[in-house]
Chains A and B, each alone.
Chain A
Amino acid sequence: MTDISIDQAPKSVDSIQSNYMAQVQRRRLYGGLTLLIFAVLMVSGFNIADDRNAGGFWDGLHQIGDYPADVLSEAWEKRADLPGLIAQYFPALIETINIAAVSTLIGAIGGLFLSLAGTRGLAKWPRLIPLFRRISDMMRAVPEIVIALMLIFVLGGGPVPAMIAIAIHTAGALGKMFSEVAENADLKPVEGLASTGATWAQRMLLGVLPQVAPNYLSYTLLRFEINIRASAILGFVGAGGLGYELRNAMAWGPGRFDEAAAIFVLLFGTIVFFDQVSSRYRNRLTEGERQ
C-alpha cells in the first residue's frame, strides 16, 4: 500500500538517513551515560547516607508503621470521645486558618508591589529592579520557621509572630510568581495609557492588573493552601493554633493519642477542604467560566 518514491534523489536521502542515524546513536549514547551516572550517584549517595544514619535504614524500615499504629489503635479505643475532642480543638483550627488568611492577604499585597517594582518594562524605577528582586529573593529564602523563632524570641509566643513570619515568606514567594506573570503581560495597553498622560499607578492599575488578575488570584489561592500547612507547623514552635495543641498531645505520648488523632482529623479535613475549594476556583479563573 505504501508507495514511496525515492527515485528523485536517492543519494541525498541515503546521506540524510545515515546522518540522522549517527545523530540518534550519539543521543542514545549520551542518554545511556546520563542514566548510568544518575543510577550510580543515587546508589552511592544512599549508601553513604545510610552509613551515617544513627539507626540504619534497613533496621528501622520495619518499624515505620509502629507509631501510626499506636496512635490509631488508641484513637480507635477512645473513638467515642473523638467528636467532643474535635469540637474542643475547633477554636484552635480557626486560629490556624486566621493566621494563614491574614498572612496570605498581607503577603499578596507585598508581593504585588515587589513584582511590579521588579519587572522589566513595568518598574517605576528601572534601575532599582535588581534591588527589589534581591529583596524578594531574601524574603523567600529564609524559611518561615526561622523568622518565627526569631520573632517569638522578641515578641513572645502567639499568633502575631507566626502571621508576620508567614507574610514575609509569602510576599517573597508571590513576588517571584507575580513578576513572572507580569513579564508576559502585553505592554500595548500600558503604552496606550501612558500616551494619555496617566501616572505609573494608574497605568499599573488599569493596564496591567486586569490582564494578570486571574493568574495572581490563582497563585494567591495556591499560597493560601500552603500557608494553612505552614501555620499549623509554626504552632510547634509556640505560635499558637492547631500545631501547638498537636505538639502538646504528641509530646505527652501514650494516653493522649486520641487528642492527637482528633487534631490530625481536623487538619486533614481542613487541608482537603481548602484544597478542593481553591483548585475549583483556580480552574475557573484560568479556564474561564464554562457555558
Chain B
Amino acid sequence: MLKIDFLTKKFGDKTAVDAANISVDKPTMIGIIGRSGAGKSTLLRMVNRLSDATSGTITFEGEEITTLRGAARRDWQSRCAMIFQQFNLVPRMDVVSNVLHGTLNKRSTFATMFNLYPQSDIHKAIEILDRLGIAEQAPKRAEALSGGQQQRVAIARALMQDPKIILADEPIASLDPMNAQVVMQSLRDIHEQDGRMVIANLHTLDTARRYCDRVIGMRDGRIVFDGTPAQLTTGVARDIYGAGAGFSEAATSTEIETLDRSEVRGAEAYA
C-alpha cells in the first residue's frame, strides 16, 4: 500500500530525515519512536505533504505522492488525515464545525464562507463524535473542552475525511495518562474496526509496545529499527534513544499500571 523510498529532508545543511525506507503492504498500526529531533514529525509531515521532501519518493497504492501539486495534493491530504500534538483545532468554533472541517476538500470556499454544510454531513459528524464518546459536547466551543476531549474532536475531524491513512504526530504528548489511554484506544479501534492504516509518532516506548503492530525506531534522521513490538528489547531501545545503562522503560511510562509493576516490566524487557 504505502511505500517510502530513500525519503530525505534537509533544512539547510542539517539532515532531518536521512534516506528513510518504509514499506507497508496492508493496513497496519505503526508506531514511530525516537528522541525529540530524530525526524519523526518531519517524516509524517512529508507523508501528509505539509512539507516537501528534498529527495526520495512516497508511493501510495501505485500513486506517486511526492510530486503532487495543487488540487491533486489537497486531494491526497484529504485521504491522509493528520492529528497533532496540540490538536490544532479552531478554538473559537463549535465542536461540530471543527469536525465538519474534515470535509473542506470537497466544499467550495463560497459554501464554507456561509457555513453551508449539508444536513447529512452534520448528522455524520455528530455520529462520529458519539462513536468517540463526546456527542454531548457537540454545540460547545472547541476551546471549552479538556485536552483529551479536544484530541478526540481532532480524531473526529480526521475520521470525517474518511481517510485511508491517519497520521498522528505525538497525539498523547500533551495529555494526562487517563486521556492518553482513551485517545490511543480510539486510534486502535479505528484501525481495527475500519481497517485504516494508522501511523503514530510516540515518545513513550510502552505505548508503542501496547497499541502498535509494528514499531519503527528513528535516530538522528535514520531508521535504526523496524520490527514487531516483541523484537524491541531494552538493548534496542537504548540504541534508539542513545541512552546509557541507566535507561529504563518505566521511567518514561505514562501508564498508571507501571507504578505497580516496574520490576516485572524490567524483567520482561530483558528476557
Binding site for B on A (CB under 8 A): 1-6, 8-9, 12-13, 16-17, 19-21, 23-24, 27-28, 31, 291
Contacts and interface: CB of A to CB of B under 8 A. Distances in A.
Interface in B114-157: 114-116, 119, 122-124, 126-128, 130-131, 135-136, 138-139
B136 A5 contact: no
A4 B138 contact: no
B139 A21 contact: no
A13 B127 contact: yes
Given A6-B130, A20-B138, A1 B162 contact: yes
Contacts of A6: 127, 130-131
A16 B126 contact: yes
Contacts of A291: 12
A5 B133 CA distance: 11
A13 B126 contact: yes
Given A4-B128, A24-B122, A13 B115 contact: no
A28 B136 contact: no
B135 A1 contact: no
B109 interface: no
Given A6-B127, A13-B130, A31-B115, A1 B138 contact: no
B131 to A, nearest CB: 6
Interface of B: 12, 96, 114-116, 119, 122-124, 126-128, 130-131, 135-136, 138-139, 159, 162, 193-196
Contact of A21 (B12, B116, B122): B122
A3 B196 CA distance: 11
Contacts of A9: 130, 135
Given A12-B135, A28-B115, A17 B126 contact: yes
Contacts of A23: 139
Contacts of A17: 122-123, 126
B195 A1 contact: yes
A28 B195 CA distance: 37
Given A5-B131, A12-B135, A13-B135, 14 more contacts: A1-B195, A2-B162, A4-B124, A4-B130, A4-B131, A6-B131, A13-B130, A20-B122, A20-B139, A23-B139, A27-B115, A28-B116, A31-B115, A291-B12
Nearest to A291: B12
A175 B130 CA distance: 51
Contact of A20 (B96, B128, B131, B162): B96
A6 B126 CA distance: 10
Contacts of B119: 21
Contacts of B116: 28
Contacts of B135: 9, 12-13, 16
Nearest to B117: A24
B119 to A, nearest CB: 6
A4 B124 CA distance: 9
A290 to B, nearest CB: 10
A2 B139 contact: no
A291 B12 CA distance: 9
29 contacts: A1-B162, A1-B194, A2-B159, A2-B162, A2-B194, A3-B193, A5-B131, A6-B127, A6-B130, A6-B131, A8-B130, A12-B135, A12-B136, A13-B126, A13-B135, A16-B126, A16-B130, A16-B136, A17-B126, A20-B122, A20-B126, A20-B138, A20-B139, A21-B119, A24-B122, A28-B115, A28-B116, A31-B115, A291-B12
A2 B123 CA distance: 14
A9 B133 CA distance: 10
B111 to A, nearest CB: 12
A220 B128 CA distance: 50
A19 B139 contact: yes
Contacts of A1: 162, 194-196
Nearest to A4: B127
A9 B193 CA distance: 19
A4 B190 CA distance: 10
User: Which of B96, B116, B135 has the largest number of chain A CB atoms within 10 A?
Assistant: B135
B42 to A, nearest CB: 16
Contacts of A3: 193-194
A16 B162 contact: no
A23 to B, nearest CB: 6
A271 B75 CA distance: 42
Contacts of A4: 124, 127-128, 130-131
Contacts of A13: 126-127, 130, 135
B259 to A, nearest CB: 31
Contacts of B114: 28, 31
Contacts of B12: 291
A45 B123 CA distance: 42
Nearest to B163: A1
Q: 8 closest A-B pairs (Cβ-Cβ)?
A: A13-B130, A4-B127, A17-B126, A3-B193, A16-B135, A17-B123, A16-B138, A20-B138
A261 B126 CA distance: 63
Contacts of A5: 131
Nearest to B126: A17
Contacts of B127: 4, 6, 13
